[in-house]
Amino acid sequence: MELDLELQRRLIRTVAERVIAHTDELVALDRAIGDGDHGLNMKRGFEAVLADLDKFAAMPLGEALKGVGMALVMKVGGASGPLYGSLFMALGKALPEQAGRAGLAQAFAAAVEAVKARGKSDVGQKTMIDVLVPALAVLQDTAVDLPERLCSAAQQAATATIPVRALRGRASFLGERSVGHMDPGARSASLMICAVMDVMEGRA
Ligand code: ADP
Ligand code: MG
C-alpha cells in the first residue's frame, strides 16, 4: 500500500499518541485483572516509536510497520509486547506495495494469525484477539463502509470482553473473578484501530 509520507507519519504518530493518552485507563483495566502495567508498557513502547518517528515516516509503509513492531517487542515487554510486535511485523511483511482494501484485509489476516500463533490463543479467551478478529471481519466484508463501522465494531468488541472469563494471560489466573472487567489488551487494540480510522477520515 502506498501512502503519501505525510499521511504515513500522521498515522504512526496518532496511533502512538492515542495509546499514550490512555495510559491511565489501560493501567486501571490491567490493575483489575492483571498486574497493572499494560498502560505503562504500551506507553514505553510507543514513546520509543515516537522517538524514531522521522525514521519510520520516511520508510516504505511495510518497512515502517516492521520497524514499529520491532520497537514494540524491545520496549513494551510483558505479554503484550511480543504479541503487538508480531502483529505489526507480520502486517508489514504481508502488506503489498500497492494494496487496496482486499490487500489490506489479507495482510491484516496474516497479522492476526501471527498473534494467535504467538499467544497460542483464539477468540473468546478475553484478549486482544477478541478485538482483532471482529475488526478483520469488518475489513473483509466489502459490503460494509469501513470508516463508519471499523472503529465502532472494535469498541463494541472490547466492551464485549467484559462478561467473558479469561482463558489466556495473567487474567486467566483469576478464573471467575476475571468476569466483569474489560480486557486491557482488547481496549488498547480498539484504541489503535479507532486512531487509524480517525486519520483515514481526516479527524486526526
Ligand atoms: P502482562 O500480562 O505480561 O502484564 P500486559 O499487561 O502488557 O502484559 O498485557 C496484557 C494483555 O495481553 C491482556 O489484556 C491480553 O489482551 C493480552 N494477552 C495476554 N496473553 C495473551 C495471549 N496468550 N494471547 C493473546 N493476547 C494475550
Ligand atoms: Mg500486565
In a domain, 146, yes or no: yes
H-helix or E-strand spanning residue 116: helix 101-119
Residue 183 Cβ inside 6 Å of ligand 1? The answer reads yes
Q: Which ligand is nearest to the CA of 185?
A: 1
Predicted local distance difference test score (pLDDT) of residue 20? 98
In a domain, 157, yes or no: yes
Q: For the segment 70-108, what is each residue's pLDDT rounded down to a tens digit?
A: 999 999 999 999 999 999 999 999 998 887 889 999 999
In a domain, 48, yes or no: yes
Terminal-to-terminal C-alpha distance of the chain: 20
pTM of this prediction?
A: 0.97
Residue 87 Cβ inside 6 Å of ligand 1? The answer reads no
Q: For the segment 47-80, what is each residue's pLDDT rounded down to a tens digit?
A: 999 999 999 999 999 999 999 999 999 999 999 9
Average pLDDT, rounded, for the chain: 95
In a domain, 204, yes or no: no
Residue 169 Cβ inside 6 Å of ligand 1? The answer reads yes
- CATH number of the domain at 66, please: 1.25.40.340
Please state the rounded mean pLDDT for residues 163-179. Answer: 97
What gap in Å lies between CA 43 and CA 151, rounded to an integer?
Answer: 21
Among the listed ranges 32-41, 71-80, 96-105, 172-181, which one has the minimum average pLDDT value? 96-105
Do the beta carbons of residue 191 and residue 33 sit within 8 Å?
A: no
Please state the rounded mean pLDDT for residues 160-165. Answer: 98
How deeply is 87 buried, as exposed, middle or buried, from its count of CB atoms within 10 A (0-12, 13-18, 19+)?
A: buried
Spacing, Cα 44 to ligand 1 middle (Å)? 16
Q: How many domains does the chain have?
A: 1
Can you read off the three cell numbers belonging to residue 187? 481496549
Q: Which ligand is nearest to the CA of 181?
A: 1
SS3 188: helix
Spacing, Cα 29 to ligand 2 middle (Å)? 9
User: What is the domain extent for residue 110?
Assistant: 5-199
